[in-house]
Amino acid sequence: MAASFDPSAARGRSARPVGTVTRGTTNTNRLRRMDRWTAHALGPALRRADRPPIAVDLGYGAAPWTAVELSARLRAVRADVRVVGIEIEPERVAAALPYADPPLLTFRRGGFEIPLDGAAPLLIRAANVLRQYEESAVAAVWERLCGRLAPGGLLVEGTCDEIGRRHVWVALGPEGPRTVTFAARLGSLDQPSDLAERLPKALIHHNVPGRPVHAFLTEFDRAWAAAAPYGAFGARQRWVAACTALSGSWPLVDARGRWRQGEVTLPWSVLAP
């Protein structure tokens, strides 16, 4: 049974971590695509920050690899960025401590309350965390996490498969959801709708006829099929051609440079349930 989230109950037990322990599945490079997009999207804000910015890897799992990798990738943009891995399970925090590199990479116990001693993070990344929750819990969790962000900050929440071939994530600012990004290792993709199984909790139950996300994936499959001749030049060229065709009927917010990375991003408003 999926976990629920009661914001009023969470306020009443603020001394304890807020949330439910995840399965903890993790692998090296699992979140590479999400990290790459995040570094690009958040890069200007990271560089503008007048003090070392803070990024949170929330629910990093049974091993600290995703936090270690996020730290390395964000440091390529801003050398003094401080990444904090947060886990609700104390044993996972203890196992991660040997990989800490204070103050650039630290680990602590916590949950949706984001225990940072009053500091506001520029980034909260919550990958494969809300998948186990009821859909009805998502809005309250989003609101809570967005309320912790620094001005100009970003919450990136989504789902990927075990080895990072397929991702879908929502990017949110302090005001709420902004965009949805689909990303894939293109050589392993049969058709774009294969990404449906990785839709985040807010969308996965709405991939049915008559709903925007279903309409988008259906049209993406058609554009992918029509772009089959470009496959002779590689899956990347086929994806770019399909995205180019989609841009005539869907308000894509990125362009060829990101499409070549196996990504495509749309406004949340056009896919929202």
Residue pLDDT, tens place only, 9-47: 444 444 689 998 888 788 899 999 999 999 999 999 999
* Residue 217 pLDDT > 80: yes
Residue 216: inside a domain = yes
Q: How many domains does the chain have?
A: 1
- Provide the mean pLDDT of the chain: 94
* Residue 192 pLDDT > 90: yes
Residue 49: name the closest of 138, 148, 120 by CA. Answer: 120
Sheet holding 54-58, edge to edge: 105-109, 82-87, 54-58, 123-127, 154-160, 166-173, 176-184, 263-267
Average pLDDT of the segment spanning 144-150: 97
Report pLDDT for 90.
96
Placement of tokens 């071939």 in the chain: 165
What is the sign of the dihedral through the CA atoms of 38, 39, 44 and 45?
Answer: positive
Per-residue pLDDT tens for 94-134?
Answer: 999 999 999 999 999 999 999 999 999 999 999 999 998 99
CA distance 8 to 237: 50
Residue 2: inside a domain = no
Question: What range does the domain containing 226 cover?
Answer: 7-271
Report pLDDT for 117.
95
Report pLDDT for 13.
42
Report pLDDT for 65.
97
Angle between helices 65-75 and 32-48 (to 10 degrees): 40
Contact 85, 57 (CB under 8 A): yes
Q: Which pLDDT band holds residue 3 (cuts at 50, 70, 90)?
A: low
Report pLDDT for 8.
45
Residue 228: inside a domain = yes
Question: Could you write out the three-class secondary structure of 87-120?
Answer: ECCHHHHHHHHHHCECCCEEEEECCCCCCCCCCC
Average pLDDT of the segment spanning 156-165: 96
Return the CATH number at 98: 3.40.50.150
Residue 213: inside a domain = yes
Residue 1: inside a domain = no
Average pLDDT of the segment spanning 242-248: 98
Report pLDDT for 26.
87
Average pLDDT of the segment spanning 222-227: 98
Residue 164 to residues 23, 202, 229: CA-CA distances in angstroms?
Answer: 16, 20, 27
Residue 144: inside a domain = yes
The b/e string for 196-218 (b: 16+ C-beta within 10 A; e otherwise) is bebbbbbbbebbeeeebbbbbbe
Residue 271: name the closest of 154, 173, 180 by CA. Answer: 180
* Residue 60 pLDDT > 80: yes
